[in-house]
Amino acid sequence: MMRNDRALVILSGGQDSTTCLAQAVQMRGAAAVSCITFQYGQRHAREVAVARAVAEHFGVSEHRVIDLAWYSQITNNALLDPATEIHQAEGAACPNTVVDGRNMLFLLVAAIYAKSRDIRDLIIGVSETDYSGYPDCRDVFVKSCNETLNLAMDYPFRVLTPLMGLTKEETWALADSLGVLEYVAEHTLTCYNGVIGAGCGVCPSCELRRRGYEAYRMCRKREESGFRI
């Protein structure tokens, strides 16, 4: 394995990042994949423990957890404040769980860490298809950030977004094709209220995940029965 084939996965322990990790391990081998997870005061802080378990499950030995607990000192939203009710205001582009600059900060810290490890590929599980209106999940942002990181550190990073053009249904399909559908469904944490697996069923993240899962299961049943649209 060439050193430049190594990758750093930004791992939250959720459906998307876990699917990206599974794909990276299958494509590159666990020895070539590292993970980085952020503890930033999120209300579902349980995701750090879940991320550790996910990395261990896929045989990744190098997994770094970075403390960004100061984040809540400079911004406030429902994801950082458990006392704030999660909702999406009428006419709003996204729910009040958006954390300003989060993916930009994550990519910056991940890039600094990756360069110190001689890693060029950064993998992040964002999607602009089912992205809940979060501006830092858009392809235009990721491409811009990639260029900025390269200029800032004079280093040839590649920010890879395997899920960028996929709906949640298609992300479930990818997990199934990788042979990890059941693991992702049962052991990942996407819920804003910290409930592993199917989640609380009420928060926007759970609703998006459930709709995608049900759509994929229905599609697979049609295919198994031989029915084609």
Position 63 confidence tier, pLDDT thresholds 50, 70, 90? very high
Q: Reply yes or no on whether the pLDDT at 33 is more than 50.
A: yes
Question: For the segment 75-107, what is each residue's pLDDT rounded down to a tens digit?
Answer: 777 666 666 676 665 655 666 667 778 899 999
Q: Reply yes or no on whether the pLDDT at 2 is more than 50.
A: no
Question: For the segment 180-221, what is each residue's pLDDT rounded down to a tens digit?
Answer: 999 999 999 999 888 999 999 988 889 999 999 999 999 988
> Mind giving me the DSSP string for the chain?
--GGG-EEEE--SSHHHHHHHHHHHHHH-GGGEEEEEEES--TTTTHHHHHHHHHHHTT---EEEEE-GGGGGT---TTT-TTSPP---TT-SS-TT--TTHHHHHHHHHHHHHHHTT--EEE----SSS-TT-GGGSHHHHHHHHHHHHHHHT---EEE-TTTT--HHHHHHHHHHTT-HHHHHHH----TT---TT--S-SHHHHHHHHHHHHHHHHHHHHHTT---
Q: What is the pLDDT of residue 203?
A: 84
**Max avg pLDDT among 23-32, 65-74, 188-197:** 23-32
Position 1 confidence tier, pLDDT thresholds 50, 70, 90? very low
Set out the domains of the chain in order of their start, with CATH numbers.
3-224 (3.40.50.620)
